Structure 1
Amino acid sequence: MTAVDAFPPTTDALPLDDAGLLRAEVARLTGERDALRAQMERRDVELETATRMLAARAQTMTSVIDAVTEQSIIGTDVDGVVRVWNPGAEKLLGRPRADVVRKQRITDFHLAEELAAAGGGLSALVQVALAEGRDVRDWTYVTATGEERTVSVAVTPRSDDSGEHAGWNFVGTDMTEARAAERLKDQFVSLISHELRTPLSAILGYLELVLDDPDQPLTDEQRSYLSIVERNAQRLLRLVGDLLFTAQVEAGRFTLQPEDVDLSAVLRGAEETARVAATAGGVRVDLELPAEALVVRGDAVRLGQACDNLVSNAVKFTPAGGRVTLTLRAGWQHADGRFGDRELPGTAPVVRIAVRDTGYGIPAAELDQLFTRFFRASTARRNAVKGVGLGLSITKAITTAHGGTLDVASVEGRGTTFTLTLPR
């Protein structure tokens, strides 16, 4: 090859068509280069903006968490090692952030015996949240000075920016004083109830003697007065019994006397009990019972009490001209709570008692409070419905003790339906 052959010809030496093509190609490549450069500059701006936004969001979250001083917020990685420790946690547990983050685990602050009883380790704290997405319950925290605090802890899983599981959030509220106050209140209720029951029993006993004494007959006026006294003493005795029952439930001393119970008979008894009040109030009570007996294993007295509470409530909440319907059905319940008449894979045999009324109804915002002790719906107060707010909490406790569920559906002004479901 000669020296001349070693160098490519310039565009001046190329034929006219080839030179034009080369210039066009160079122009195209130059344009692509400029476009790529502009795109890179835009991406740089976008990346810088996103970085600033992420930093701002992180700073905002940190500021919010640090502003919470009455609740402890503790974030951990998947192994339970602490990564977030807010001022509320410092205040509650008496440990500064620098001594905890990346150095200790969430389990280090729990009562060891309590963790062991729940299965031990981190899994004891997070197993329910792992299965259901959240969990709220009381745990015992141990402070830096060794003091034990009762804390209501909400546990939720934490994800990173890519959606992968990154750990756990533990939000705690100190309930030590509140729980102590509740225990004192229950002890007081139990004590007072016991002290009231004894004189009430004596009053009712002597009233019975006076009313039924054949040797000293009463005038009609005297009998009327003493009947009023007896009726109110019985009412007070029932209230004392309800208070004692709720105290037993709270203390974990509520027991059942199981036997075979015919629920049709229980509902007939509830209808008979409510019949006088329903007739006086102009309320119609209908029974829809199956032809065959429906028998469950349970405490006949307590199940009767639960049905009496539901029926009497329905009658009290229904104005004159309204209707209360009691329905009993056997069927099959799906895992998600749906009820059907046929047995299907995954269903369980149940019995359902429905008490439906056409009364005042309950506001939607109050439905989740109905089973709280001493709570009374605003419609009850507005319409002067008598009661102290214990019946539904008692009914809920009885239902739960039997392994059942109690549900409510209501539309204000159109009535309410309570559904009691029991296994069979």
Structure 2
Amino acid sequence: MTVLEPAPAGELTRLRAENAALRARMQHRDDELEVATRMLQARAQTMTSVVDAVTEQSIIGTDVDGVVRVWNPGAERMLGLLRADVVRRRSITDFHLAEELLEAGGGLAALVGTAQERGRDVRDWTYVAADGTELTVSVAVTPRTDDRGVHAGWNFVGTDMTEARATERMKDQFVSLISHELRTPLTSILGYLELVLDDPSLGDEPRRYLGTVERNAQRLLRLVGDLLFTAQVDAGRFSLQPESVDLAAVVRAAEETVRVTAAATGVEVVVDVPDGGLVVPGDAVRLGQACDNLVSNAVKFTPAGGRVTLALRPAWRTAGGAVVATPGDDAVRVARLAVSDTGIGIPAGEQGQLFARFFRASTARRHAVPGVGLGLAITRAIAAAHDGSLEVASVEGRGTTFTLTLPG
């Protein structure tokens, strides 16, 4: 029989010390794990509390297959289903109008495709509540990740826009109806005015009076046209008649249109366009309308002795979106029209609202400059329809520059 020799006292001491150190490290790790667990639980509880506190918007979280994992009180209120009846039992697609999903490509991919490509997507969808009610909902879709940063599903944050969209449709219908009812008699008035003004026996004084009537009738007709145009844009019925357009000729025509008004108010208008022209694809009528709006605005907001400059140049847009004056690798050609004035300018805090319908800057109101606030909204809509952009730079009291950029 083998008899085990007892370990030397020094070896036992060393082993006990290592064991104690190992136990201490394990206890430290246990303590760290407990703290981390409590922090994660606290963070999860905080997030749950925040999500549950939102009652005016639906917040729905899904896994990668679209199965609902998060369903806040706002979703309960909007769609009429309790959390317990939905989580892990229903798919996000169950609450969308089937026909609308099918038109967009069908299934979960129709809802998340854009967010998958761009990181986010916001658009109107039709939600169907438990009682069959159809709701127009503005839905923001973003990817959802887990604690390791791995894609775990999707977040859908919905705002009920049913009443707002209905109000917008009623407003647009009203604008269209009233505009049509105004345009018909105005056209008749202008037709008869033309007949009367063509009468050679008409005296000078009546001709002056009727000339004033004609100018104001034309002004009303332009306003009616602007109202109809904005209604078409909002309703998605705005279409273009594309062709090759010499933008230089459009700019010269815009200057010619305001020449008499500029001369009467003491404003100098300078045109700087390429001698050989600058051709872009687009709708000649709409691009003319956009240029006319920018140029007439510049003249209108410039006091006597001031200057308005119309500068048209070719440029290039880089892959990063910057517009530069010289061509480079992967840059695409664009046309840039800068309409600059030395007028009253726009306060910095109001420039973000400048392209909203019916908005008028405080400087315009203070100086009693006439207008209804539709021109810039229309011009930006025309630019966007051409895949272009309209930007503003202004200093109050020193002038304004509007830059229209169009694909070349």
TM-score normalised by length of structure 2: 0.90
Deviation readout 1:227-284 (Å, 9 max, x if unpaired): 3332222211110111111222233333333333221111011112223333344433
The residue number in structure 2 matching 1:369 is 353
The residue number in structure 2 matching 1:251 is 235
The residue number in structure 2 matching 1:71 is 57
Shift of 1:359: 3.4
The residue number in structure 2 matching 1:121 is 107
The residue number in structure 2 matching 1:17 is none
CA gap of 1:397–1:10, structure 2 versus 1, over 3 A, is: closer
Q: Distance in 2 between matches of 1:70 and 1:34?
A: 57
Q: Distance in 1 between matches of 2:26 and 2:267?
A: 79
The residue number in structure 2 matching 1:103 is 89
Q: Which moved more, 1:94-103 or 1:271-280?
A: 271-280
Q: Which moved more, 1:42-51 or 1:161-170?
A: 42-51
**Aligned-residue CA RMSD (Å):** 2.7
Which structure 2 residues correspond to residues 304-343 of structure 1 after superposition, within 5 A?
304-343=288-327
Task: Work out which of the residue numbers 1, 5, 8 in structure 2 matches 1:7.
Answer: 5
Task: Work out which of the residue numbers 81, 88, 98 in structure 2 matches 1:112.
Answer: 98
Shift of 1:342: 4.4
Which structure 2 residues correspond to residues 1-400 of structure 1 after superposition, within 5 A?
7=5, 22=10, 26=13, 37-219=23-205, 222-400=206-384
Q: Which amino acid aligns with 2:364?
A: A
Deviation readout 1:356-391 (Å, 9 max, x if unpaired): 233344445544433322222344334433221211
1:422 aligns with 2:406: yes
Deviation readout 1:60-104 (Å, 9 max, x if unpaired): 221221121111111111111111111111111111111110111
Q: Distance in 2 between matches of 1:218 and 1:10?
A: 132
CA gap of 1:369–1:107, structure 2 versus 1, over 3 A, is: farther
CA gap of 1:33–1:376, structure 2 versus 1, over 3 A, is: farther
Q: Is the 8 A contact 1:404 1:423 kept in 2?
A: yes
Q: Distance in 1 between matches of 2:123 and 2:402?
A: 27
CA gap of 1:44–1:299, structure 2 versus 1, over 3 A, is: same
CA gap of 1:237–1:81, structure 2 versus 1, over 3 A, is: same
Deviation readout 1:278-314 (Å, 9 max, x if unpaired): 3344433222211212122322221111101111222
Q: Which amino acid aligns with 1:7?
A: E
TM-score normalised by length of structure 1: 0.87
Gaps of 5+ in 1: 12-21
Q: Is the 8 A contact 1:211 1:218 kept in 2?
A: no
Q: Which amino acid aligns with 1:192?
A: I
Q: Which moved more, 1:107-116 or 1:411-420?
A: 411-420
SS at match of 2:271: strand
Shift of 1:413: 4.5
SS at match of 1:335: coil
Q: Distance in 2 between matches of 1:277 and 1:33?
A: 97
Q: Distance in 2 between matches of 1:10 and 1:217?
A: 135
